[in-house]
Amino acid sequence: MFVDNVLIVTIVAAFLIAVLIGPLFIPFLRRLKFGQAIREEGPQSHFKKAGTPTMGGSIILLALIFTVLKFANAKMEIYFLLLVTLGYGLIGFLDDFIKIKKKRNLGLTAKQKFAGQIVLAIGAYILLLMMGHDTSIHLPGTPWKLELGYFYFPFLLFLLVGTTNAVNITDGLDGLLAGTGAIAFGAYAIIAWFGQDYDTAIFSAAVVGAVLGFLVFNAHPARVFMGDTGSLGLGGALAGIAIMTKTELLLAIIGGVFVVETISVIMQVVSFKTRGKRIFRMSPLHHHFELTGWSEWRVVVTFWLVGMFFAGLGVYLEVVTIR
């Protein structure tokens, strides 16, 4: 079989848990008035979404925890993945909570977020040292690798912070991150399984199921948003899985949508500050397509298809050309 039955069972279990939690959790968020604040500089069409419950990423994290504890073995690799996932999810939770409490679109400051991300990266690095983790990085599509030694820590810091923020940037339309995330984690479930890293494969499959279960409530028109709780948690999980499977550089391909979204923001900022002109009507890129007249659903589905292309390319480079 292309993938073992255990991955399918894991996906289904996480999906069902998320679907069961959703109807209980969403009304709870409404009662607490945990509604999303819409940034003033965003597309005008988004103002009708104000008040939609946020922090729905908690649904994903809860479904993930229950499923992983049931199907994965209790080992250091799983502890590492839970650390980076729940750790960055906690930073996102604090950010969401402050936004809601203060009734504003700004939660933690950039310095506070970055400080938390650095602390988590240090903790992750210490745990990797205890595990005797390989500090080399593999070049995608080749049998070559580069030993980083002590330079692996700054690389790890860049990978964790960069990935969590790139994934966070992509969370801007109903179902956009949930769909592209499920695709990327699905690719990693296949890669981990073929690499005989079965527990990481199960963890990846659990994320797929949890995110798809959340998508039931997050598809347009969304009944709940994942918030930074979900987007930062998913970013940490994605980076963690890339680290465990030794495909750190391949992440830039599998997560191609996240990379493109981030580059669009960087290009927009640099162009405006240096030339006083904008390249896109609005960044990140998904807002640009919205403002050209595309429907929200068309943008989301298009990005899903692009995500499938990048994920397929990543799986091909790792599984077909190397294994």
Tens-place pLDDT, residues 92-111:
999 988 888 776 666 788 89
| Whether the Cβ atoms of residue 258 and residue 252 lie closer than 8 Å to each other | no
- What residues are paired with 136 via a beta bridge? 147
The two tokens of residue 31 are 């009662």
Residues 6+ apart with CB under 8 A from 95: 107, 108, 113, 227, 228, 232
Over range 22-35, report the average pLDDT: 80
Give the other-Cβ count within 10 Å of 262's Cβ: 22
Q: Residue ranges for the binding site for Mg(2+)? A: 168, 228
State the pLDDT at residue 41.
Answer: 55
Backbone angles phi, psi at 169, to 5 degrees: -65, -35
Over range 80-98, report the average pLDDT: 94
Exposed/middle/buried for 130, CB within 10 Å: 0-12, 13-18, 19+?
exposed
State the pLDDT at residue 27.
Answer: 87
Q: Can you say how many angstroms the Cα of residue 320 is from the centroid of all Cα atoms in its chain? A: 25
Q: Residue 319 gets which letter from DSSP?
A: I
Cα(213)–Cα(80) distance, rounded to whole angstroms?
Answer: 24
**Any idea what the Cα angle at residue 209 is, between residues 4 and 107, rounded to 5°?**
145
Helix (H, G, I), strand (E, B) or coil at 282: coil
Q: Residue 317 gets which letter from DSSP?
A: I
| Whether the Cβ atoms of residue 296 and residue 243 lie closer than 8 Å to each other | no
**Any idea what the Cα angle at residue 161 is, between residues 70 and 76, rounded to 5°?**
30
Over range 107-120, report the average pLDDT: 90
Backbone angles phi, psi at 138, to 5 degrees: -100, 140
> Between the CA of residue 22 and those of 32, 43, 76, 93, 178, what are the distances in Å?
15, 28, 30, 17, 14
Q: Give the distance between the most distant pair of CA atoms in the chain.
A: 55
pLDDT in tens, 142-189: 888 899 999 999 999 999 999 999 999 999 899 999 999 999 999 999
Query: pTM for the whole thing?
Result: 0.92
The two tokens of residue 49 are 């979404």
| Whether the Cβ atoms of residue 55 and residue 96 lie closer than 8 Å to each other | yes
- Percent of the chain with pLDDT strictly greater than 70: 90
Cα(263)–Cα(12) distance, rounded to whole angstroms?
Answer: 34
Cα(286)–Cα(135) distance, rounded to whole angstroms?
Answer: 35
Q: Where does the pLDDT of residue 1 fall: very low under 50, low under 70, confident under 90, or very high at 90 and above? A: very low
Cα(254)–Cα(237) distance, rounded to whole angstroms?
Answer: 14
Cα(46)–Cα(40) distance, rounded to whole angstroms?
Answer: 10
Q: Residue ranges for the binding site? A: 168, 228
